[in-house]
Amino acid sequence: MRYTDPRLLDALSSAYALGTLEGGARRRFERLLRDRSDVRALVAQWEQRLGQLALSVPARRPSADLWRAIAARTRPAEARKASASRWANWLRPAGFGLGGVAAGVVTASALFLSAPGIFISSDQLAMRSGERLPQSYVGVLTDAQGQGRLLVSSLRHGKTLTLKVLGPAPIAAPALASDERLVLWALPADGAPFAMGMVPASGTQVSALPDTSEKLLSKVSRLIVTRERSATPAAPSADVVLSGSCAKLW
């Protein structure tokens, strides 16, 4: 295999940073990592990106099933019983906050596993030219069960908004009626909510913004998605489908 294609190197670096690159492919990539500084830089950028995205995920206490699943993937079978007590003793004094950070990292990793190409194209170009991650507004919106379902992203001074539905299932359950639509709302700290546009039930959508993200989102800390019957709703309905934080990545 010729490791000259930037797209291939980017995909391998993201999978390696997530821990999803396995077997012979991982061993070959680790040899490449030792020999090439540009590949090491790509991995470092993906690790930074994962850490930043985790900050926008609401804190949640990880369940016992989640820790068992992590142990099954990362620890030998003979060490599981011994490690279980160490994990429990470590988490107990740490409290909710630390557990929430761990859950955030796991959630963010799952997002990148399901869609490693979720960021906008100019972001990819910046990474390939050796620049840092562009300054962006990013939101991860979750459903009532706390599952990440929608990724919202826009460059800080950009005028387009990228919406990526996470996972194979459509957002709305039950399905939308023929006269219903999903609308993304921004909730400023000191102003009235305003609509950011329609949300696709699945897939990815790029839409134009009336102004730069900096002017629209600089004072926005929360995002929600609601069901609406009007094509031009003046205010969000009480039927909130998704909600999440709007984070500044800079």
Calculate mean pLDDT across residues 190-215.
Answer: 91
Please state, in angstroms and rounded to a whole number, the distance separating the CA atoms of residues 236 and 219.
Answer: 18
Percentage, residues of the chain above pLDDT 70: 69
List pLDDT tens digits, range 14-24.
Answer: 778 776 777 88
Q: How is residue 136 written in tokens? A: 């962006």
Say which residue, 229 or 5, is predicted with more confidence. 229
- What's the pLDDT score for residue 85? 54
Contacts of 61 (CB under 8 A, 6+ apart): 96, 99, 100, 103
pLDDT grade for 214, boundaries at 50, 70 and 90? very high
Question: Beta strands of 80-155 (E only): which ranges?
Answer: 136-142, 148-155
- Identify whether the C-beta of residue 17 lies closer than 8 Å to the C-beta of residue 29: no
- Identify whether the C-beta of residue 171 lies closer than 8 Å to the C-beta of residue 224: no
- What's the pLDDT score for residue 56? 56
Please state, in angstroms and rounded to a whole number, the distance separating the CA atoms of residues 181 and 149.
Answer: 16
Task: Tell me which DSSP letter residue 79 carries.
Answer: G
- Answer yes or no: is pLDDT of 115 > 90: no
| pTM metric for this prediction | 0.52
Contacts of 219 (CB under 8 A, 6+ apart): 188, 189, 190, 191
